[in-house]
């Protein structure tokens, strides 16, 4: 996969990439004053726009710029298998990704689909593989900048954990990158198990739970006592007189409940009758006459007489009803008194029987046996629960041991891989040494292996570079240049699906001029042998004169507003 063209709508940017060196440079003009600076001309913005098309997070300054909201950018690439691939993405709607293969027939895909698609066509990783080694993770190697990429040779992003550093670099070299990822997963699983064991153990310690052996012994003793008490209860015989009295007490209790029910029902009926008795509907004939009179209608005398007869009948009916209700209430109240007296008699009789039973001790002894039996059962349940907790801890410890064994096997496989893949490792070691020595004229030793001593859950892969010169930021950047180029050419030789371009934004800041020239000479010479692209940003006064030509500087920007990248400042 190589870069072919980056262009914008509306038209402002239209850059064609070439084989070998692709320099995005910034220059001063004759109009430039002492206050003018080449910072802000758009070198880094150009790189960010490439990255934006390759699904990078849009820079907040770009995203929040009203001028940028008008632009849509298209990045064209060329793939050996798929031919031309075009990616279109707008600043206003960054979540809409449009893809076209071979033609200009674009189709919109989701951001998630785009990530899977690019991971496959750029790096050959199956889209269904759901691992931390994502497309954007690997793109941190392809594109490095001042903010994240030049502080550490093997950590292309500042926030990566050790396992991800190992996984990325193993992938780049062509080794099994699943090993550190799987190990991190096992470490997390082991950590979770340890937290559970610690939490349960602390809880038991706080509650002063005895050891498992003591719990089992205590449970055994109580179970033996329980059997004896159950036998005593089974054989317990109450004297026949007591049995009779107890049965009689139970019968009286049932009668008391029935009497209480009847008292309640009668009380409800008395209340209903009393409420009905208090209701009275009186008909006032004078009001009726006045009503008709108000609308100029006068009742005839014979009608008035009939109404008086109806009124008398109504009074008689109400009188009879009230007489009946009063009689019923009186009768029910009398019955209620009898029920209350009956309740007092029954309660008194039951109390006498229970007092006899308790005085002679038969009932209290029986109840005490029951109470102790229930307490013993509850204690056995509690002890059994704590024994189960100990069993759970044992199971968790077994799980931990199984995970530890998987970690041991993982370490064993890691060491075995390093030994078996020595030819691949040797190839990149020699490539690095060749490039680094050509830059700084001293030997650089790239070491790839595992630690000599480590704990079972350590991430054991080691990547280091030793050279006769070191310490300065310029030397670190020279090592990064050599390592990244050696990875690129190493993947070419392995015939892997891998991008054929690198992007370094400001890598030569702080690097000696002689080293810069050696690096550019190496790229130029290598471009005659290999099909690849090296995109970098630089100020013109940091470049050797022969590299200021248009054949190398594909984009030349200045500190004048109309000659910067976008034609406006933001």
Instruction: Using alpha carbons only, give the angle 86, 133, 496 rounded to the nearest 5 degrees.
Output: 65
Full-model pTM? 0.71
Q: Express each pLDDT in 243-285 by its tens digit.
A: 676 777 788 888 888 888 888 888 888 888 888 777 765 656 5
- What gap in Å lies between CA 514 and CA 518, rounded to an integer? 6
Distance of CA 158 to the CA centre of its chain: 23
Q: Per DSSP, what are the bridge partners of residue 445?
A: 466
Distance of CA 131 to the CA centre of its chain: 15
pLDDT score for 435: 93
Residues near 371 by beta carbon (within 8 Å), at least 6 away in sequence: none
34 band by pLDDT with thresholds 50, 70 and 90: very low
- What gap in Å lies between CA 182 and CA 48, rounded to an integer? 33
335: helix, coil or strand? helix
pLDDT score for 306: 66
The two tokens of residue 442 are 């001293």
Q: Express each pLDDT in 203-226 by its tens digit.
A: 888 888 888 888 888 888 888 887
Given a cut of 70, is residue 487 above it in pLDDT?
A: yes
The residue written with tokens 């020279």 in the block is 478
142-156, 250-264, 468-482: the lowest-pLDDT one = 468-482
pLDDT score for 364: 60
Q: Positive or negative CA dihedral for 488, 492, 496, 501?
A: positive
Q: What is the mean pLDDT of residues 368-397?
A: 83
- What gap in Å lies between CA 450 and CA 321, rounded to an integer? 107
124-138, 171-185, 263-277, 476-490: the lowest-pLDDT one = 263-277
pLDDT score for 298: 58
79 band by pLDDT with thresholds 50, 70 and 90: confident
79-83, 208-212, 432-436, 533-537: the lowest-pLDDT one = 79-83
- What gap in Å lies between CA 496 and CA 174, rounded to an integer? 9
Most confident of 14-23, 65-74, 284-293: 14-23
Output the average pLDDT for the chain: 85
pLDDT score for 366: 64
Most confident of 28-37, 147-156, 558-567: 147-156
371 band by pLDDT with thresholds 50, 70 and 90: confident
Residues near 245 by beta carbon (within 8 Å), at least 6 away in sequence: 353, 356, 357
pLDDT score for 502: 95
- What gap in Å lies between CA 453 and CA 458, rounded to an integer? 10
30 band by pLDDT with thresholds 50, 70 and 90: low
pLDDT score for 350: 79
Given a cut of 50, is residue 237 above it in pLDDT?
A: yes
- Nearest to 147, CA basis, from 63, 48, 241, 72: 48
pLDDT score for 207: 84
The residue among 306 and 47 whose pLDDT is bigger is: 47
pLDDT score for 428: 95
Residue 439: Cβ-neighbour burial (10 angstroms; 0-12, 13-18, 19+): buried
Q: What is the mean pLDDT of residues 52-59?
A: 91
CB 482 within 8 A of CB 435: yes
pLDDT score for 275: 80
Q: What is the largest CA-CA distance in the chain?
A: 140
pLDDT score for 565: 77
pLDDT score for 130: 80
CB 226 within 8 A of CB 377: yes
Given a cut of 70, is residue 129 above it in pLDDT?
A: yes
Count of residues for the chain? 570
pLDDT score for 170: 96
- Nearest to 185, CA basis, from 412, 459, 463: 459
The two tokens of residue 387 are 């024994």
559: helix, coil or strand? coil
Give percent of the chain above pLDDT 90.
Answer: 44
């Amino acid at each position: 996969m190589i870069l072919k063209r980056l262009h914008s709508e509306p038209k402002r940017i239209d850059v064609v990439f070439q084989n070998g060196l692709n320099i995005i440079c910034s220059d001063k003009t004759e109009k430039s004053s002492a206050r003018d600076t080449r910072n802000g001309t758009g070198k880094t913005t150009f790189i960010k726009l490439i990255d934006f098309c390759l699904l990078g997070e849009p820079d907040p300054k770009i995203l929040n710029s009203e001028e940028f909201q008008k632009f849509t950018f298209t990045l064209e690439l060329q793939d050996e298998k798929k031919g031309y691939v075009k990616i279109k993405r707008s600043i206003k709607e960054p979540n809409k990704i449009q893809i076209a293969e071979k033609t200009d027939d674009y189709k919109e895909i989701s951001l998630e689909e785009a990530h899977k698609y690019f991971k496959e066509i750029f790096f050959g990783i199956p889209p269904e593989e759901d691992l931390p080694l994502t497309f954007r993770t690997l793109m941190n190697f392809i594109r490095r900048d001042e903010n994240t990429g030049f502080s550490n040779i093997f950590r292309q992003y500042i926030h990566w954990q050790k396992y991800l550093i190992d996984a990325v670099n193993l992938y780049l070299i062509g080794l099994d990158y699943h090993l550190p990822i799987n190990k991190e997963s096992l470490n997390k699983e082991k950590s979770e198990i340890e937290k559970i064991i610690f939490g349960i153990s602390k809880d038991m310690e706080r509650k002063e739970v005895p050891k498992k052996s003591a719990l089992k012994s205590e449970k055994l003793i109580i179970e033996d006592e329980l059997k004896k008490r159950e036998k005593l209860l089974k054989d317990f015989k109450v004297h026949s007189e007591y049995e009779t009295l107890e049965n009689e007490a139970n019968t009286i209790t049932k009668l008391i409940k029935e009497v209480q029910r009847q008292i309640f029902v009668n009380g409800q009926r008395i209340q209903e009758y009393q409420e009905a008795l208090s209701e009275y509907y009186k008909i006032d004939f004078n009001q009726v006459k006045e009503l008709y009179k108000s609308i100029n209608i006068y009742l005839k005398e014979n009608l008035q007489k009939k109404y008086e007869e109806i009124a008398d009948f109504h009074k008689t009916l109400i009188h009879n009803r009230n007489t009946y209700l009063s009689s019923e209430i009186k009768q029910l109240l009398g019955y209620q008194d009898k029920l209350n007296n009956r309740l007092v008699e029954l309660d008194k009789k039951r109390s006498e029987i229970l007092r006899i039973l308790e005085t002679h001790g038969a009932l209290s002894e029986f109840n005490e046996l029951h109470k102790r039996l229930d307490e013993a059962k509850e204690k056995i349940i509690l002890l059994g629960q704590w024994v189960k907790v100990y069993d759970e801890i044992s199971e968790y410890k077994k799980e931990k041991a199984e995970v530890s064994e998987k970690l041991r096997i993982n370490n064993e496989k890691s060491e075995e891989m390093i030994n078996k893949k020595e030819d691949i490792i040797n190839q990149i070691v020699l490539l690095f040494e060749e490039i680094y020595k050509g830059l700084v004229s001293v030997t650089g030793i790239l070491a790839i292996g595992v630690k000599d001593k480590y704990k079972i859950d350590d991430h054991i892969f080691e990547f280091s570079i030793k050279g006769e010169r070191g310490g300065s930021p310029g030397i670190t950047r020279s090592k990064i240049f050599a390592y990244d180029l050696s990875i690129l050419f190493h993947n070419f030789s392995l015939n892997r699906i891998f991008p054929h371009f690198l992007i370094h934004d400001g890598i030569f800041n702080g690097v000696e001029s002689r080293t810069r020239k050696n690096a550019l000479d190496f790229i130029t010479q290598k471009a005659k042998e290999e099909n690849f692209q090296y995109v970098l940003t630089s100020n013109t006064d940091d470049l050797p004169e022969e590299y200021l030509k248009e054949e190398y500087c594909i984009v030349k920007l200045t500190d004048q507003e109309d000659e910067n990248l976008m034609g406006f400042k933001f």
